[in-house]
Chain A
Amino acid sequence: MSMMMWTEKYRPRTLDEMVDQEEIVARLKSFVEARNVPHCLFAGPPGTGKTTAALCLAHDLYGEEYPNFIMELNASDERGINVIRETVKTFARSMAIGEVPFKLLILDEADNMTADAQQALRRTMERYTETCRFILIANYSARIIEPIQSRCAPFRFSYLRPEHIAARLKYIAENEDVELLDSGVEAILDVSGGDLRKAINTLQAAASLGKPIDAEVVYSVVGRANPSYVRDMLEAAMDGQFVKARRILRELIWRYGVAGSDLIRQIHSQIFKIDIPERWKIRIVDVIGEIDFRLTMGANEEVQLSALLARLAEFGQLIKRGS
């Protein structure tokens, strides 16, 4: 078999192959038997098999040719309500050919849709029920508006059990002829926190180093995959080193192509982990919020974020003086 990402190579193809989420799988199988699927809402943390379950369901329902009967959309990639409306409608209203009288529309990250877009979707779901069934996938079902929730059969995906993840990792390692030590398994379980995709990606990256995988190898891979640039940047700023902080910012924007809105989101969540007096954190969030607003008004993200870093450097100095 040619080389591919192991997350895909070892992604279950059929519901039978899914080893976890037993209750959910059983219910989905009953849909396949009845040749009928209601609109569904798959909710749960990342890497717990939501997308896989949707694809397996499609496979069992339509057979090998299933890609012809489904459409995968990712709400976080489709800008604006119109795209969703147009694309979804065009797909939903055309008839399905074959023994199953409807197609499947898999809408990933549905909780990223604005309430407006969700409202628009609600109509479409109703109108084209005959020809198209929706599987909405979300991390947080609470972010899906009530009317849509009430039209969907709810499925709660829970974190995969560690022993299941461990078994999967060992199976893959054996298949790929990779030496995976127990300490390596433990370490992967530790860093992946129940997210199977993350676990398998970590395994593959670790395997690429070409040595037996123990805890040390795993942690070095994780360190490299999740560089702490944002934290480094914030620490430099809080230490009064504006120039250094700005240099890291530029690296992030220019070299790594991080968008300003993503950066400010990460800064906001990092601030609470920094060791400074609590009351300062709120003052800082106030500034972050202001800069977040200016990001949307301004012409240049780097200038706006630099202004934030400069303010943090000022605060850092004040904190040091104990005021």
Chain B
Amino acid sequence: MSGVIWTVKYKPRTLSEVVGNEEAKKKLLEWARAWKEGRIPEKKAVFLYGPPGTGKTVAIEALANDLGFELIETNASDFRTEEQIMRLAGPAAASLTLTGKLRMILFDELDGITGTADTGGLSAIMKVVRRARCPIALIANDPWDPRFRPLRALCLMVEFKRVGERDIIKHLRRICEREGIKADWKALQFIAKRANGDVRSAVIDLQAVAQGKKVLTYEDVTWLGTRDRKKEIFRVLGNIFHADSCSRALTAARETDVDPDMLFEWVYENVPRAYRDPRDIAKAMDALSKADMFRGRIIRTQNWELGRYFTTFMTAGVAMAKEVSKPGFVKFSFPERIRFLSTAKPQREIQKAIAQAVKKRCHVSMKEATEKVIPYLKIIFQNNPEMAAGLARWLGLDAEAIRFLTADERKAKRILSLLEAS
């Protein structure tokens, strides 16, 4: 069982390992060296900006690691009101650690600090930057947001560009080597192209298609986009669903190099295709539910020994569920969940950001904002661009949020152009 996410496992430790963006890294290192050598640079803060997955956060983490800074980090998951920022960064910005290490403060995901949800947050950050006696790093996707204007003047601006295809391929190849996977160049190129400069998503895609394999072919990766998948998984699934004994079902799983977590997704997707009778489906789903509980336990306790129960319920448990159904030839389908996770941006995050903005403006909780305000916002955004644009400005919603609320690219564009025009 391999629960480790490759973006974590292969996270760069040192700045030189960060993929691409050589110029930015050089600029960054020069700036940080000055701090290290006790010369306070003219700009006490750096502002890293660029599209998602281009290595901004990891660059800062690697830099801190390289120079021995203690990194204090806040991101959009933290509340960042003025008070909270001053409490966190106020004292830290003014002193060394007990061990004499220099501190470095990172304000990540500044895009998520809406003027509305985090009252006074940005001006508190300005304050921290002005008073700083330690290096400060700011990160945002879009630095040209007017709200950041005063910050921009105070910071050394460092752009992170979309990473080139070749650099991404090189990175993917390195990972494959360390995982013992022989990968076709064409396969890696396919992944890199799809990523469009986003290293993180490329690595996530790679893990989805390659984990647990010895060889990665072009065919393997095409199912990132389409629904074609190697025969191997079909064979294993067939053996599990047709197995007439526990040991046969277990053997089917043991004899393959398909990753158990991935296999689980396939079994879960295809239970209602293999079995037709509701009683059998219920029993099989119950086995998967139990398997999932063991997986939860493994995650919590890190007791990998429990993996055998996970596997048993997912294979034998599902096989023994068929009392009525007689699975014949089954056309298995690709797990919808994997497809979704590898393509869409987490809608829940976007919705949360909107709820956060509503919460502060409308004096409601996140839950009320989600249940009692956002549904009405959706209607307004889908029907009345003028009103929507006004509300978007009032709430401080970004393009992503507007797209979420309209669920329609054309309508979103219309609202965005209204916003720009005014």
Contacts and interface: CB of A to CB of B under 8 A. Distances in A.
Contacts of A323: none
Interface of B: 83, 87, 268, 271-272, 278-279, 281-282, 284-286, 288-289, 292-293, 295-297, 299, 336-337, 340, 344, 346-352, 359, 361-368, 370, 372-373, 375-376, 378-380, 383-384, 386-391, 393-394
A257 B348 contact: yes
Contact of A205 (B296, B352, B380): B380
Interface of A: 2-5, 7-8, 46, 51, 55, 72, 74, 76-77, 90-91, 108-109, 197-198, 201-202, 204-205, 207-210, 221, 224-227, 240, 242-243, 246, 250, 254-257, 262, 291, 294, 297-300, 302-304, 306-307, 309-311, 313-314, 316-317
The winner among B278, B349, B373 for most chain A CB atoms within 10 A is: B278
Given A4-B391, A77-B365, A302 B293 contact: no
B266 to A, nearest CB: 13
B391 A210 contact: no
Contacts of B370: 257
A262 B351 CA distance: 15
B193 to A, nearest CB: 25
B288 A225 contact: no
Nearest to A314: B282
A41 to B, nearest CB: 18
Given A205-B376, A225-B376, A76 B361 contact: no
B288 A2 contact: no
Contacts of A108: 363, 365
B288 A307 contact: yes
From DSSP, what is the main secondary structure of chain A's interface residues? Answer: helix
Contacts of B387: 3, 204, 207-208
Given A5-B361, A5-B391, A210-B384, 5 more contacts: A4-B361, A5-B373, A7-B362, A242-B281, A303-B292
A313 B370 CA distance: 30
A210 B383 contact: yes
A56 to B, nearest CB: 12
A6 to B, nearest CB: 10
Contact of B272 (A77, A227, A243, A262): A243
B384 A250 contact: no
Contacts of A202: 376
The winner among B87, B279, B281, B348 for most chain A CB atoms within 10 A is: B281
Given A3-B390, A201-B376, A204-B380, A257 B293 contact: no
Contact of A221 (B272, B336, B351, B379): B379
Given A297-B297, A300-B292, A226 B375 contact: yes
A256 B368 CA distance: 15
Contacts of B390: 2-4
A312 B297 CA distance: 26
A76 B372 CA distance: 15
Contacts of B389: 3
27 contacts: A3-B391, A4-B394, A8-B362, A51-B364, A74-B365, A76-B367, A108-B363, A108-B365, A201-B373, A205-B379, A208-B379, A210-B383, A224-B379, A225-B375, A225-B376, A226-B375, A246-B272, A257-B346, A257-B348, A257-B352, A298-B296, A299-B295, A304-B289, A307-B288, A307-B289, A310-B285, A313-B282
Given A226-B375, A242-B272, A317-B278, A298 B285 contact: no
Given A210-B384, A257-B352, A240 B278 contact: yes
Given A77-B366, A90-B83, A256-B347, A209 B391 contact: no
Given A72-B363, A74-B366, A90-B83, A297 B296 contact: yes
Contacts of A310: 271-272, 278, 281-282, 284-286
A311 B286 contact: yes
Contacts of B393: 2-3
Nearest to B344: A254
B348 A298 contact: no
A105 to B, nearest CB: 13
Contacts of A201: 372-373, 376
The winner among A210, A303, A317 for most chain B CB atoms within 10 A is: A303
B366 A303 contact: no
B100 to A, nearest CB: 29
A72 B368 CA distance: 15
Nearest to B366: A77
A306 B297 CA distance: 19
A279 to B, nearest CB: 19
Nearest to B346: A257
A198 B373 CA distance: 9
A12 B376 CA distance: 21
B59 to A, nearest CB: 30
Contacts of B349: 257
Contacts of B364: 51, 74
Contacts of B375: 224-227
Contacts of A306: 268, 285, 288-289
B365 A303 contact: no
Given A210-B384, A221-B379, A310-B278, A256 B292 contact: no
Given A208-B380, A226-B375, A304-B289, A5 B351 contact: no
Query: Which 3 pairs, one residue from A and one from B, show the smallest C-beta to C-beta distance?
Result: A3-B390, A257-B348, A307-B289
Contacts of B289: 291, 294, 298, 303-304, 306-307
A51 B363 CA distance: 7
A317 B281 CA distance: 12
A294 B366 contact: no
A58 B282 CA distance: 56
Given A201-B376, A246-B272, A317-B278, A209 B365 contact: no
A300 B347 CA distance: 17
Nearest to B281: A310
A275 B271 CA distance: 28
A256 B297 CA distance: 28
Contact of B362 (A5, A226, A242, A250): A5
A316 B278 contact: yes
Contact of B278 (A204, A224, A291, A314): A314
B241 to A, nearest CB: 15
A254 B347 contact: yes
A254 B340 contact: yes
A302 B337 contact: yes
